[in-house]
């Protein structure tokens, strides 16, 4: 396991990334405190290692959570999806595409540690 993210509003919701580059099983989620896991790797390009994950667990109305946005740092940049969506898309918005070794989300900002390029920040919508 490379990284685990726990929902600060509901500790039973988890997202985990594994660095295995072959086949499926690089991104997993649990909604019941890790009793059952679901592979959400889907169309994340094969051959990529998933080094890190950051999840935007923000709430939209103060009571009900919005759908979490998941960002995964790989050998070739950052990919993102919404929990429950059918696939991953490259997250560009000004980020270079080499290996991303760490991701962090602070309110409205994604910070990425990018191999050989330093730290980059991108505003989240």
Number of structural domains, the chain? 1
Residues in the chain with pLDDT values less than 50: none
pTM of the model: 0.90
| Contact between residue 75 and residue 99 where contact means Cβ atoms under 8 Å apart | yes
| Spatial distance between the Cα atoms of 9 and 111, rounded to a whole number of angstroms | 21
Query: Given the DSSP bridges, would you call strands 109-114 and 69-74 parallel, antiparallel or unpaired?
Result: unpaired
Domain of 63, in residue numbers: 3-123
| Contact between residue 117 and residue 95 where contact means Cβ atoms under 8 Å apart | no
- What is the CATH number for 45? 2.130.10.10
pLDDT of residue 56: 93
pLDDT of residue 62: 58
Tens digits of per-residue pLDDT, 91-124? 977 788 899 999 999 988 999 999 988 899 999 8
């Amino acid at each position: 396991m490379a990284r685990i993210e726990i929902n600060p509003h509901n500790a039973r919701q988890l997202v985990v990334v594994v660095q295995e580059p072959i086949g499926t099983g690089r991104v997993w989620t649990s909604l019941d405190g890790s009793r059952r896991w679901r592979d959400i790797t889907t169309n994340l390009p094969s051959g990529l290692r998933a080094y890190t994950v950051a999840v935007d667990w923000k709430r939209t109305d103060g009571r009900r959570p919005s759908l979490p946005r998941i960002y995964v740092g790989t050998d070739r940049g950052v990919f993102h999806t919404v929990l429950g969506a059918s696939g991953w898309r490259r997250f560009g918005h000004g980020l270079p595409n080499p290996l991303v070794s760490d991701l962090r989300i602070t309110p409205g900002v994604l910070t990425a540690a990018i191999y050989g390029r330093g730290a980059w920040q991108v505003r989240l919508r």
